[in-house]
Each structure stands twice: as structure tokens, then as C-alpha cells.
Amino acid sequence: MLTDKRGEAAAREIKEWANRIATRLDEGLKVDVYDDADSNTYVLRLAKGARVLIFRLSGSQVQTDGREVECERTLQRKIQDLRNLL
């Protein structure tokens, strides 16, 4: 479980988690997270220079025990996708 919180409180914790991982992989990478309550998802915005990649993690992904590894793999894959953008 990445967080047991909901809404903006969860978004802050997810942002801290994502930035820790992103910084390990690329210090120039910026991550922003916001709560999309209408769809019960958290929108992550990865940015490096002019390149931006946006994706979502579902509420169930971040609030279910045992899915941290899945979330981290998704984040790492998206960071790699951002690096590969032309």
C-alpha cells in the first residue's frame, strides 16, 4: 500500500514516493500528482525539459496491500517511456 489516505492527502504521499524513485533514476525529472476524484485515480505528470508524460494510477493500486511493486514498475516504465520520447 502506497498510502492509506484518500484525496489530496494521498496525492501528497504519492508525489513524495514518486519523486524519491524518480530522483534515483534521473535527478532532472519532476513529478507532480493530483487526485481525480471523479475517476478515483491519481494523475501523475512526469516532466523533463520540454518532454511531458501523463498517466494514472488507480485508487485501488495505491491503496491495496501488496501492490507497491506493481506501482513502482509502472512508474519506472513510464520514466523510461519519457526518456524515449522524441
pLDDT by residue, tens only, the chain of 86 residues? 999 999 999 999 999 999 999 999 999 999 999 999 999 999 999 999 999 999 999 999 999 999 999 999 999 999 999 999 85
Residue the block writes with cell 491503496: 63
Report the greatest alpha carbon distance in the chain. 37
Strands 41-48 and 51-58, sheet pairing: antiparallel
* pLDDT given for residue 85 in this prediction: 83
Q: Report pTM.
A: 0.93
Q: How far apart are CA 75 and CA 55, in angstroms?
A: 9
Strands 41-48 and 30-36, sheet pairing: antiparallel
